[in-house]
Amino acid sequence: MVTSVLTTAVHVVILLLLIAGLAWMQVRRLSFSARVFSGLGLGILFGIVLHQVYGPGSEVLKSSIDWFNLVGVGYVKLLQMIVIPLVFISIVAAFTKMELTQNVGKVSGLILLVLVGTTAIAAAVGIASAGAFDLQAVQIPQGNAELAQAARLEQTFATIEGRTLPQQILELIPANPFLDFTGARRSSTLAVVIFAAFVGLAYLGVRRRDPQAAETFERLVQALNGVVMGMVRIVIRLTPYGVLALMTRVAATSDYAAIWQLGKFVVASYAALLVMFGIHLLLLTLAGLNPAAYVRKVLPVLGFAFTSRSSAATLPLNVRAQTEELGVPQGIANFAGSLGLSIGQNGCAGIYPAMLAVMIAPTVGIDPFTPSFLATVIAVVAISSFGVAGVGGGATFAAILVLSVLGLPVGLAGLLISIEPLIDMGRTAVNVSGAMTAGVLTSRLTRQLNAETYVGVGLREQA
């Protein structure tokens, strides 16, 4: 017992020394991106060493990870803490700054078009990858973990079975905005966006009728916006340390045997994700923008999304990168980032459900590559991409919706549970890239993109 405690203490000291090293890099004024990727690399190395020495199921490792979570999970919780205030106050502030007064309908429409359109493309990419690698559900061994996950998915499906598209859309409307401010529902973030837009539109009406009252409200909103953005800057400074701890946990606890056994499915998934990221760059190129500048500036954000597996937790970093590094106006950045949490997630709601549909269809006697089935899958994936939560597990929820509409066995979506965390890391990064791409393209199409900021140097130092 004493030995276990001492060993855990040694691990915690090592983590603290690595954190001190990252802090020294900041003192030496190394770039934010360099520190983030240093944290990522150090976390991978430290985690692999712990995995090799102790094994993922050891009590010593579990105890150490519990302490590491104070840094990693604590950082994610701080980000989640500021998501809802950031979404609400930033969108309302955009109305008071005249950023979303005349074109709010056009902006939101373009963002939705890009999000849903790229999700349909992502579905086609997922189908192509599944076909190219000849993925089939019958190739995957079904152990106790897979069977248990299948049972859980069947239970989840029972709670949403029979829900129509109009009912899903109605669920997005905030009947009680104060409930959604607590994040109680899957669609809470999107509901807060809708509520903030209503507040902003109401402000415009007050400004016409009572300019003095509108001015008072504007000063209050700008003050709150300044405070919230200050909170965002404080939390973002902690990103390298959070990435270090999160990546250490991932590398130390991953099931490498399962990853090796299902290597073809991992490779096929990442091939599709890389192709989809390439499509994002292609869209930016077609819009007359330099894709290399985009990659250089968003890599730290995608690195955190990859590590945390949470689009919601990445939102503050997402919005900051769009506004400060890519030249997107604050209002559009918040709309794109917030809508991207629940609508049109290219990785979780696009590629993954489409791949599963193609893999599972032969088990019920359906040829997955007939034109009618392929068209149906792409359409269903695009429509079902509304309301997918931007947290870990959102892809499974999306898969349940798609498979149930197609009449395929929902339980088989649990076949990849052993490699789910590894695949989900890449999916989350592509989700976040899709949201940022929507913000940049919308700004470009509405002639509001700051081109000088977009082509400028990479991420600046934190204040």
Q: Is 343 helix (H, G, I), strand (E, B) or coil?
A: strand
Give the other-Cβ count within 10 Å of 107's Cβ: 24
Of these ranges, 162-171, 283-292, 307-316, 375-384, the one predicted with the greatest mean pLDDT is 283-292
Q: Is 254 helix (H, G, I), strand (E, B) or coil?
A: coil
pLDDT at 46: 93
Per-residue tokens: 204: 């415009």
pLDDT at 460: 47
- Give me the phi and psi of 262, to 5 degrees please: -105, 35
Q: What's the sign of the alpha-carbon dihedral 341, 32, 329, 273? A: negative
Q: What is the dihedral of CA 95, 344, 285, 337, to 10 degrees?
A: 30
d(CA 392, CA 378): 23
Helices (H) and strands (E) in the chain, counts: 20, 0
Who contacts 52 (Cβ-Cβ below 8 Å, separation ≥6)?
A: none
d(CA 83, CA 85): 6
User: For the residues 456-462, what does the mean pLDDT come to?
Assistant: 52
d(CA 350, CA 29): 40
Residue 369's alpha-carbon distances to 13, 25, 124, 131, in angstroms, are 55, 52, 11, 8
Q: What is the tens place of the pLDDT at every residue in 233-261? A: 888 888 899 989 988 988 888 777 767 76
Q: What is the tens place of the pLDDT at every residue in 311-358? A: 888 888 899 899 999 999 888 888 888 888 878 789 888 898 899 888
Is domain 2-454 annotated with CATH 1.10.3860.10?
A: yes
Q: What is the tens place of the pLDDT at every residue in 79-89? A: 888 888 888 88
d(CA 285, CA 234): 34
Q: What is the pTM of this model?
A: 0.80
CB 131 within 8 A of CB 224: no
Who wins on pLDDT, 80 or 21? 21
| Of the candidates 227, 204, 228, the residue with the CA atom closest to the CA atom of residue 217 | 204
User: For the residues 347-374, what does the mean pLDDT come to?
Assistant: 87
Q: Is 386 helix (H, G, I), strand (E, B) or coil?
A: strand
Query: Which amino acid would we find at residue 208?
Result: R
d(CA 162, CA 356): 21
pLDDT band of residue 273 (cuts 50, 70, 90) is: very high
Who wins on pLDDT, 382 or 166? 382
Q: What's the sign of the alpha-carbon dihedral 69, 307, 386, 402? A: negative
| Of the candidates 318, 334, 125, 104, the residue with the CA atom closest to the CA atom of residue 225 | 334
d(CA 40, CA 215): 46
Per-residue tokens: 141: 């061994």
User: For the residues 250-277, what does the mean pLDDT come to?
Assistant: 85
Query: Which amino acid would we find at residue 121?
Result: I
| Of the candidates 330, 335, 334, 321, the residue with the CA atom closest to the CA atom of residue 429 | 321
d(CA 326, CA 460): 12
pLDDT at 368 over 50: yes
Q: What is the tens place of the pLDDT at every residue in 406-415? A: 777 776 666 6
pLDDT at 462 over 50: no
pLDDT band of residue 171 (cuts 50, 70, 90) is: confident
Distance between start and end Cα atoms, the chain: 45
pLDDT at 415: 62
Q: What is the tens place of the pLDDT at every residue in 124-164? A: 999 999 999 888 876 665 555 545 555 555 555 555 555 66
pLDDT at 180: 84
pLDDT at 463 over 60: no
pLDDT at 275: 96
Q: What is the tens place of the pLDDT at every residue in 417-457? A: 667 778 888 999 999 999 999 999 999 998 889 988 998 76
Q: What percent of the chain has pLDDT over 70?
A: 86
pLDDT at 218 over 60: yes
Q: What's the sign of the alpha-carbon dihedral 272, 276, 277, 278? A: positive
Q: Is 414 exposed, middle or buried (0-12, 13-18, 19+ CB in 10 A)?
A: buried
d(CA 352, CA 301): 22
User: For the residues 12-16, what does the mean pLDDT come to?
Assistant: 92
Residue with tokens 């276990």: 4
d(CA 108, CA 335): 7
User: For the residues 391-405, what does the mean pLDDT come to?
Assistant: 69
| Of the candidates 192, 433, 235, 426, the residue with the CA atom closest to the CA atom of residue 322 | 433
pLDDT at 282 over 90: yes
Q: What percent of the chain has pLDDT over 90?
A: 29
CB 62 within 8 A of CB 253: no
CB 450 within 8 A of CB 330: no
User: For the residues 174-180, what does the mean pLDDT come to?
Assistant: 85
DSSP 8-state assignment for residue 325: I
